[in-house]
Amino acid sequence: MTKTDLMPSLLIRNIKTLVQAEVNPRKVVKGADMAIVPTIHDAYLLMENGRITGFGAMDTCPERADEVMDATGRMVFPSWCDSHTHLVFATSREEEFVDRIRGLSYEEIARRGGGILNSARRLQETSEDDLYHSALERLYEVIGYGTGAIEIKSGYGLTTESELKMLRVIRRLKEVSPIPIKATFLGAHAMPVEFKENREGYIDLIINEMLPKVAEEKLAEYCDVFCDRGFYTVEETDRILKAAAGYGLKAKIHANELDYSGGVQTGVANGAVSVDHLEYTGDAEIEALLGGDTMPTLLPGCAFFLGIPFGPARKMIDAGLPVVLATDYNPGSAPSGNMPFVVALGCIKMGMLPEEAINAATINGARAMELEADYGSIAVGKVANVFITKPIPSLAYFPYAFGKNLVESVVLQGKAWTTPRQ
Ligand code: NIG
Ligand code: FE
């Protein structure tokens, strides 16, 4: 490689606290270890060719780099890893929000043909280009909150054509995105009205038509199913996940949002990379999770917005489990992709310590996307995706001051990030 091929080096100096700085990078953080976030005070961070190449105390700081930033009074975090989103959608659904304020439940709205089916109707009528531009805007929005790796699902198509349209939008996002994106096929998100009396017919369509096309075009890494009361049963979920595995798609499922659905156990039995939601998690679910490598992922933005119980993060961590926090960014149950707010909710509503919430939103989130080798912490060799905070007095101040925008600047692949104008 010639000198001109090299990207300029970037040095951040005088960092008040370098957060999640790992000498021996961990793949996952569980149980009591979740309360530990390695930090270095009065630190520097060196990035070259898009990767982290050095960090340490200021008295060992390199003399020069191509570019230098001063972070006096500020902390540097590894970017958030948001492992569960539905970032591609046609329109917002605030009319359902108002219906819920007036007394209807999320499930009642879904039974009336609202909810996911409402988003599907609108998405089917929206062009791939329009979906792409609105999703790109949301991607840039969440990058501004400090997100540096993300998963995005289909699931608002519910026809072969529209599911593929969503996944092609995600592929286009991957081509231009400065952060890695993992794509998840969620054809089994809801039962389309025309298949209400013929559930088997839709599941056959997923297995015999959608999955082969998704695999042929290499449009997704994972397969998701909404395994819950009123959506997909354990048996249906199992069938779909096994068919997906035959095409090399690993599972990452929605489970136990509305009831003790058996979804957690089904996910673990199918070797799911993660099982997500878990508002209804009891001893049997915890037992199942302790027996596997599946990452339990909690989505407090959804519990907050829908007014449903928060997942029992405290109980899960005390049982020795790892916990992941993600946004679930979607128009129906969590219309926000704000990871700092999710971290704050983890602390305020789920009894997580700031350190536990930070581990859940960084290294464990990376693990829930199988990206932990390259993202989720400050470690030599990892991709240099980090953010610099505004001046803050302590680590705990970050979730404490909920709703305050404390992300001052974002560095992606070792370069200061500015949002392009669309
Ligand atoms: O993760 N629970 C299922 N799916 C989404 C919500 C989808 C919607 O309401 O549009 C979720 O909460
Ligand atoms: Fe979701």
pTM comes to 0.97
Question: Cα of 324 to ligand 2 centre, how many Å?
Answer: 14
For a pocket test of ligand 1, which of 105, 119, 226 has the largest count of ligand atoms closer than 8 A to its C-beta? 226
Give me the number of domains the chain comprises.
Answer: 2
Are 147 and 198 contained in the same domain? yes
Nearest CA to ligand 1 atom 8: 332
Question: Cα of 186 to ligand 1 centre, how many Å?
Answer: 11
Long-range interactions of 95-102: CB distance < 8 A, separation 24+: 96/332, 97/335, 100/306, 100/307
Q: Residue 351 — left, alpha, or beta (φ > 0 → left; ψ -120 to 50 → alpha)?
A: left
Task: Identify residues whose C-beta is under 5 A from ligand 2, the ion.
Answer: 328
Environment class of 402 (CB within 10 Å of its CB; exposed 0-12, middle 13-18, buried 19+): middle
Question: Cα of 86 to ligand 2 centre, how many Å?
Answer: 6
Which residues are 70's β-sheet partners?
13
Among residues 411, 374, 341, 350, which one has the least CA distance to residue 143? 411
**pLDDT at position 422, please?**
74
Q: Give 24's contacts (C-beta < 8 A, 6+ positions apart).
A: none
Distance separating alpha carbons of residues 380 and 401, to the nearest angstrom: 31
Which CATH number do you get for residue 219? Answer: 3.20.20.140
Residue 21 DSSP class: B
Are 125 and 220 contained in the same domain? yes
pLDDT per residue, tens digit, the chain (422 aa), is 344 456 899 999 999 999 999 999 999 999 999 999 999 999 999 999 999 999 999 999 999 999 999 999 999 999 999 999 999 999 999 999 999 999 999 999 999 999 999 999 999 999 999 999 999 999 999 999 999 999 999 999 999 999 999 999 999 999 999 999 999 999 999 999 999 999 999 999 999 999 999 999 999 999 999 999 999 999 999 999 999 999 999 999 999 999 999 999 999 999 999 999 999 999 999 999 999 999 999 999 999 999 999 999 999 999 999 999 999 999 999 999 999 999 999 999 999 999 999 999 999 999 999 999 999 999 999 999 999 999 999 999 999 999 999 999 999 999 999 999 87
Q: Is residue 422 part of a domain?
A: no
Structural domain range at position 296: 81-367
Inter-residue contact 317 to 361 (CB < 8 Å)? no
Are 24 and 85 contained in the same domain? no
For a pocket test of ligand 1, which of 92, 254, 277, 278 has the largest count of ligand atoms closer than 8 A to its C-beta? 254
Inter-residue contact 20 to 38 (CB < 8 Å)? yes
Are 276 and 313 contained in the same domain? yes
Are 38 and 152 contained in the same domain? no
Are 252 and 131 contained in the same domain? yes
Ligand 1 atom, smallest distance to 306 CA: 12
Are 115 and 206 contained in the same domain? yes
Q: Whose atoms come closest to the Cα of 261: which ligand?
A: 1
**pLDDT at position 3, please?**
43
Q: Which residue has the tokens 């790992």?
A: 22
Distance separating alpha carbons of residues 7 and 213, to the nearest angstrom: 38
Inter-residue contact 54 to 46 (CB < 8 Å)? yes
Q: Is residue 89 part of a domain?
A: yes
Are 382 and 326 contained in the same domain? no
**pLDDT at position 6, please?**
65
**pLDDT at position 7, please?**
80
Ligand 1-lining residues (CB < 6 angstroms): 115-116, 119, 226, 254, 257, 302, 328, 330-333
Distance separating alpha carbons of residues 267 and 254, to the nearest angstrom: 9
For a pocket test of ligand 1, which of 328, 329, 336 has the largest count of ligand atoms closer than 8 A to its C-beta? 328
Nearest CA to ligand 1 atom 3: 226
Which residues are 40's β-sheet partners?
18
Question: Cα of 257 to ligand 1 centre, how many Å?
Answer: 9
Inter-residue contact 367 to 297 (CB < 8 Å)? no
Q: Give 182's contacts (C-beta < 8 A, 6+ positions apart).
A: 83, 150, 151, 152, 221, 222, 369, 370, 371
